[in-house]
Amino acid sequence: MPTRSHGGLGARLRRGVEPAVLLGPGLLFYAVLVGVPVGLVTGYMFARRGRFGGVEWELSLDNFSRVTDSVYLEVFRESLGLALVATVISLAIGYPTAYAIAKLPPRWRTVALVLVVVPFWTNFLIRVYAWIVLLNSQGVLNDVLVGLGVVDERFTLLYTPGAVVVGLVYSYLPLMILPLYAAIEKIDDELLEASTDLGAGRVRTFLGVQLPLTLPGVVTGSILVFVPSLGNFVVPELLGGGKTVMVGNLIRDQFLKAQDWPFGSVLAMMVVVLLVLLFLGQAWVTRRVEGGARA
Amino acid sequence: MPSRTAGRAAGRAAGRRTGLGWLWLPLGLCALFLYLPILVLVAMSFNGGGSAYRWDGFSFRWYAELARDSDLIEAVVTSLGIATGATAIATVLGTLLAVGLARHTRSKMLEAAAMAPAILPDLVLAIGLLAFFYMAGIPKSALTILLAHAAFGTAFVVAVVRARLAGSDAALEEASRDLGAGGFSTFVLVTLPSIAPAVVAGALLVFTLSLDEFVIAYFTAGPTTETLPITVYAMVRTGVTPEINALATVLVLISVTVVVVAARAVRRTEKS
Amino acid sequence: MNTSIRRPRRAAAAAVLGTALTLVLAGCGGDDTTSAEPSALDPDADLTEQTIVVSNWEAYMPDDIAEVVKERTGATVEVTSHATNEDMVAKVTGSGGEGLDVVFGSQPYLEALAKAGMLEPLDTDFLDNWGNLDPAAVDTAEVDGAAYWAPYTWGTTGICYRSDLVDAAPTSWYDLLEPSEANKGKVTMMGTERWAMLPALKALGYSVNTTDEGELNEAKDLMVAAKPDLLAYDDTTFYERLISGEATMVQAWDGWCNYGIAEDDRIEFVVPEEGSDLWSDGIAVLKSSENKEAAYAFIDTILDAKTHAWVEENILYNIPNEAALAEVPAELTETYDLLGSRREEMLSGENMTDVGDDAAAIYNQIITEVTAS
């Protein structure tokens, strides 16, 4: 056995202790406050409902068969639909906006980005509430439209799936614009010029060069809008007038109203599974685009 | 340009100068979409009547109501307390984690785990924590919200600090060690100063996220805990008065100030 | 569409998963034992040392109630609020009652909590003013022969409407469920809890406490058909919608309609001809409370004739306190006929009671199906 110097031993010890000191507290904290809770929700899926919250630990698979019920599948379908529409609209508004911001002179870019972010840093509930004030049949928009003679009678835009979509877009639009801006800003303008110089039209340059290069931004932005939209329960409640139910409402209600935690857990984990699939998709797209860029 | 109005002239000139052309249109529409609701709220906060959306004369009365609303003020104090505590925990744990990840491991799994709470839907984390506190017999209170916010806040600190560390190499730290400095002094004297801006940015991010966080707080609040978002939710759900508009105006003002100040600070550090 | 109530039966589909699950899930929980015996109270307890936390609906008692209790008994009262009965139940059960001493709730929800052993049976000898209460209301507060809460208010559910915005005054639940062309999109109904099903059940001539699946399904179909004509489901702000003119007719509790009437005298209330409920709200002490003497003092203060009358003046709900009714000023009962001449009409409603856990789950399921339709 070769002898070791003191320094060597110290260094080796340090190398073992240091990661533990750095990583240990955080990971332990996570284990307790994220790992155990998510584990519990996973376990709850197989348990029976307790009368007043909590669960009875009896093995039960009823929760899984219940979720295949047409009512719940319909809620899932509708939620996916609304979240998707909100995402597509955000993209339709966000892409040209992000593109325009990227083309602004540098000092105006910062101003524009700050302007995009400011509403986002304003209380989320107040942002949703603002639309109640705006869209109400007795509200400002109606006053203006009736005043201008655009419409004859007051009408309500509130409490419809459309109002829910507007609320979702408004809530999460900055999350679409920022990654899009980052992706668009990175593109070398010379690349686009080269494309047009080679005779490609503006549309072809956009579809053939710009869009593929900004695809990671599109995907990231879409996920950032889609995921919180899907799990949202505040917007459907406040702007949907209780007539539109999304998965988020269903999950919230199982935990805080119907007191059926196991069923709520199954619904929540379905959202998680969907999310994992989305992230795998995102990773795949990013790898392809980056691979393509390197090639 | 005598024949044109000044506004149009400016618009065209700007368009030509920047080559933006038709792109002014989406920019303008987007700004309108983002700011119209807020402007209407601000305007309606000066409504003298009792309705949140029908104009009935100018008045500051709702700001006076706001200043007198002791429940709301208490909620703001609670929220600030939670945000401060959560920020402290998240900043320390997140910074340590980020440095540990950057310098001591290449595990993609660990990296993903460190980001998990930021990626997990808030509702899932919320019900998980509700279940956990319930099973563990921990009474829900402001403290449980604080812990919950610290958990997802840590992930955001990791993200910000990790990005900064990726841009710096470990040579300085190695030099420090070679010169005989211990792990602790290297961390404090070399690593920390180099990542300080990111640590501060991460802390600010957690603080603002915690102040605005509703879903997790709603599920982990004790029977008498009221944070600002929980109070606003109750106000909106149980009847709307122009008081909420006044509150909104104040919050928008604060958020504009903070963002503008932060943006200026960033620009100044970039210049120097 | 299949109209039967869907309940989980297809376990086979998921059985495959079960074989993979080798976890042995040990039994735990269910530690509460029901005892109908009130806790021993200390008549000499120093109330100035005790603080109780009371959860009530927002604005459902006068703002300065805590000061009144402090002055009369020395006990400190902290007030917190819940928006709905379900919120209250979630608050109580989510933390095992920790942090709360006294809750306000409606009879079906308090009954369920009492049956689950979470409420303290009241030792009425300890409440000097218990005798003020209407015996009919005391009956509604009894579970298995013991009183579990002090009746606070009672009332009925009907249609609150803007007489200037409707062509003809509503007379039937069908006026809400199948509104005339002019009122389409301008009516609201309650969307949660037991009251969500009340209009449909009563319109069909069924009990508000029915547990018959066939009847419940019929009601569900009627509710699904009614949904497109609704402005919104609303359990908390309906009278404000009448004031603003957003809605012309809303399903409302009589007391909350009074809030509307207080602001706009064109607002009126009607109990539909098919009949309605007699609901009762009470004040209960949680079994877990460690300040029961103060909780009793709080309740006894409210039951005092003068305080309870003052409560009626402030919140405009009918109170089941015979001694207090003598103290209510005449102009109040004249302004609000729901508190005066129409009191008897309210009392003729069908008492809304707990339907039990299984039926409550069906009610919940139907409401989910209707809102998801």
Kindly give the parts of chain B with pLDDT less than 50: 1-18
A92 & A219 share domain = yes
Task: Give CA–CA dist A78/B69, Å, rounded.
Answer: 40
Domains of chain B, residue spans: 69-239
For A259, list phi and psi in degrees, rounded to 5. 55, 45
Q: How confident is the model at residue A13 (pLDDT cuts 50, 70, 90)?
A: low
Element (H, E) at C109: helix C107-115
User: CB distance from C23 to chain A under 8 Å?
Assistant: yes
> Which residues of chain A does C187 touch, with a Cβ-Cβ cutoff of 8 Å?
none
Task: Give CA–CA dist C354/C351, Å, rounded.
Answer: 10
Mean pLDDT lowest among A90-94, B221-225, C214-218, C313-317: B221-225
Which structural domain, as residue segments, surrounds residue A7? 1-35
Q: Residues C146, C267: contact at Cβ < 8 Å?
A: no
Residue C32 or residue B73, greater confidence? B73
Query: What's the whole-number mean pLDDT along residues C2-19?
Result: 37
* Amino acid A293: pLDDT: 56
β-strand pairing of A55-56 with A48-49:
antiparallel
Nearest CA in chain A to C85: A257
DSSP string, B161-192: HHHHHHHS-THHHHHHHHTT--HHHHIIIIIH
Is residue A47 in some structural domain? no
A13 & A95 share domain = no
> Which residues of chain B does C240 touch, with a Cβ-Cβ cutoff of 8 Å?
239-240
Mean pLDDT lowest among A2-16, A27-41, C38-52, C259-273: A2-16
C neighbour chains, 3+ CB pairs within 8 Å: A, B
Measure in Å the smallest separation between the Cα of A29 and chain C Cα atoms: 23
Smallest Cβ–Cβ distance between A242 and the set C7, C90, C233 belongs to C233
Q: B-contacting residues of A 131-150, CB under 8 Å?
A: 131-134, 136, 138-140, 143
Question: What percent of chain C stands above pLDDT 90?
Answer: 72
For C143, list phi and psi in degrees, rounded to 5. -125, 120
Q: B-contacting residues of A 185-214, CB under 8 Å?
A: none
A18 & A164 share domain = no
Give the tens place of pLDDT for each residue, A241-266.
889 999 999 999 999 988 889 999 99
Query: What's the whole-number mean pLDDT along residues C308-317?
Result: 94
User: CB distance from B121 to chain A under 8 Å?
Assistant: yes
* Amino acid C267: pLDDT: 96
Query: What's the whole-number mean pLDDT along residues A129-153?
Result: 85
Measure in Å the smallest separation between the Cα of A138 and chain C Cα atoms: 6
CB-based contact A30 B154, cutoff 8 Å = yes
Q: How confident is the model at residue C6 (pLDDT cuts 50, 70, 90)?
A: very low
Q: What is the CATH number of the domain that holds A246?
A: 1.10.3720.10
Domains of chain C: residue spans and CATH: 47-154+279-341 (3.40.190.10), 157-275+354-372 (3.40.190.10)
> Which residues of chain A does C12 touch, with a Cβ-Cβ cutoff of 8 Å?
65
CB-based contact B222 C78, cutoff 8 Å = no
Query: What's the whole-number mean pLDDT along residues A80-95?
Result: 96
Query: What's the whole-number mean pLDDT along residues C49-68?
Result: 92
CB-based contact B240 C240, cutoff 8 Å = yes
**Mean pLDDT score across all residues of chain C:** 88
Nearest CA in chain B to A173: B34
CB-based contact B224 C96, cutoff 8 Å = no
Regarding an ipTM greater than 0.85, the answer is: yes
User: CB distance from A14 to chain B under 8 Å?
Assistant: yes
What is the tally of structural domains in chain A? Answer: 2
CATH class of B69-239: mainly alpha
Measured N-to-C along each axis, helices B192-212 and B242-271 cross at an angle, to the nearest 10 degrees, of 170
Give the tens place of pLDDT for each residue, C339-363.
988 888 888 999 999 999 889 989 9
Which residues, in sequence order, are bridge partners of residue A49? A55
Three-state SS at C146? strand
Residue A138 or residue B79, greater confidence? B79
The pLDDT of residue A2 is above 70: no
β-strand pairing of C157-162 with C267-270:
antiparallel
Instruction: Residue A208: name the closest of A222, A223, A191 by CA.
Output: A191
Three-state SS at C361? helix
Question: Measured over all CA atoms, what is the biggest interatomic distance in chain B, rounded to whole angstroms?
Answer: 77
User: CB distance from B75 to chain A under 8 Å?
Assistant: no
Smallest Cβ–Cβ distance between B18 and the set A104, A227, A237 belongs to A104
> Which residues of chain A does B31 touch, with a Cβ-Cβ cutoff of 8 Å?
115
Nearest CA in chain B to A137: B53
A18 & A118 share domain = no
CB-based contact A233 B33, cutoff 8 Å = no
A86 & A1 share domain = no
Q: What six digits make up the tokens of B187?
A: 């961390």
The per-residue b/e assignment along C286-325, b for 16 or more CB within 10 angstroms, e otherwise, is bbbbebbbbbbbbbbbbbbbebbbbbbbebbbbbbbebbb
A20 & A127 share domain = no
Is residue A44 in some structural domain? no
A171 & A274 share domain = yes
CB-based contact B37 A23, cutoff 8 Å = no
Is residue A57 in some structural domain? no
The pLDDT of residue C12 is above 50: no
Task: Give CA–CA dist C248/B161, Å, rounded.
Answer: 56
Smallest Cβ–Cβ distance between A123 and the set B29, B151, B232 belongs to B232
Q: What six digits make up the tokens of A139?
A: 């509200």
Nearest CA in chain B to A107: B267
Mean pLDDT lowest among A27-36, B2-11, B157-166, C126-135: B2-11
Three-state SS at B219? helix
CB-based contact B27 A233, cutoff 8 Å = no
- Test mutation, C64, C95, C101, C235, chain B, max B CBs within 10 A: C95
Q: How confident is the model at residue C301 (pLDDT cuts 50, 70, 90)?
A: very high
Measure in Å the smallest separation between the Cα of B75 and chain C Cα atoms: 12
CB-based contact C25 A54, cutoff 8 Å = no
- Test mutation, B47, B123, B195, chain A, max A CBs within 10 A: B123
Measure in Å the smallest separation between the Cα of C365 and chain A Cα atoms: 9
Q: Residues B209, B117: contact at Cβ < 8 Å?
A: no
Smallest Cβ–Cβ distance between A159 and the set C2, C30, C231 belongs to C231
Task: Give CA–CA dist A89/C273, Å, rounded.
Answer: 48
* Amino acid B20: pLDDT: 66
Element (H, E) at A97: helix A70-103
CB pairs under 8 A between A and B: 251
The per-residue b/e assignment along A18-28, b for 16 or more CB within 10 angstroms, e otherwise, is bbeebbebbbe
Smallest Cβ–Cβ distance between B263 and the set A105, A110, A231 belongs to A110
Residue with structure tokens 């877009």? A169
A21 & A79 share domain = no
Give the tens place of pLDDT for each residue, A61-83.
888 988 888 889 999 999 999 99
Smallest Cβ–Cβ distance between C29 and the set A50, A138, A253 belongs to A50
Q: A-contacting residues of C 207-236, CB under 8 Å?
A: 227, 230-234
Q: Residues B178, B170: contact at Cβ < 8 Å?
A: no
Instruction: Residue A135: name the closest of A156, A151, A120, A166 by CA.
Output: A156
